Amino acid sequence: MGRRKTAVARVRVFPNGDGSITVNGKNAQAYFGQREAYMATIAAPFRALDLNNNYTITIRVVGGGTNGQAGAIRHALARALVRMNGDFKASLRKAGYLTRDPRMKERKKPGLKRARKAPQYTKR
């Protein structure tokens, strides 16, 4: 399982597969559309380990937007690869893929318009 912002991803990695990535029952390319950056984010743990993608990956992701979901999938994939082979931990940790990104949207405060934006001051 991996998290990013409000997105939560559950990943299953099957070795000796055909290299297909399925996200919520769809092909990953179809799920994320034309944005290649999201596919690059998802494949980052494999690039960091110099693994050719002969794994079948099924992903269930809920919450957040597409950017948060891609980050959650990357986090979950890195954690799953470490579970499969403990030797991967050092290089994935060095690349920063095992650390959960703590940045979240800040909550709105009372008396303000947003988290930090105050209403406009009027002198008269």
Reported as a single tens digit per residue, the pLDDT across 68-109 is 999 999 999 999 999 999 999 999 999 999 999 999 999 999
Burial of residue 119 (number of CB atoms within 10 Å: 0-12, 13-18, 19+): exposed
**Percent of the chain's residues with pLDDT above 70:** 100
Q: Which of the four pLDDT bands, split at 50, 70 and 90, describes residue 35?
A: confident
Q: What is the pLDDT of residue 5?
A: 94
Let me know if 121 is exposed, middle or buried by CB neighbors in 10 A (0-12, 13-18, 19+): exposed
Apex 65 CA angle, 59 and 69, nearest 5: 30
> What is the CATH code of the structural domain delimited by 2-95?
3.30.230.10
- Of 86, 59, 87, give the one whose Cα is nearest residue 75: 59
pLDDT at 33 > cutoff 90 = no
Give the pLDDT band of residue 27 (cuts 50, 70, 90). very high
State the pLDDT at residue 112: 96
Residue 6 clears pLDDT 90, i.e. is over it: yes
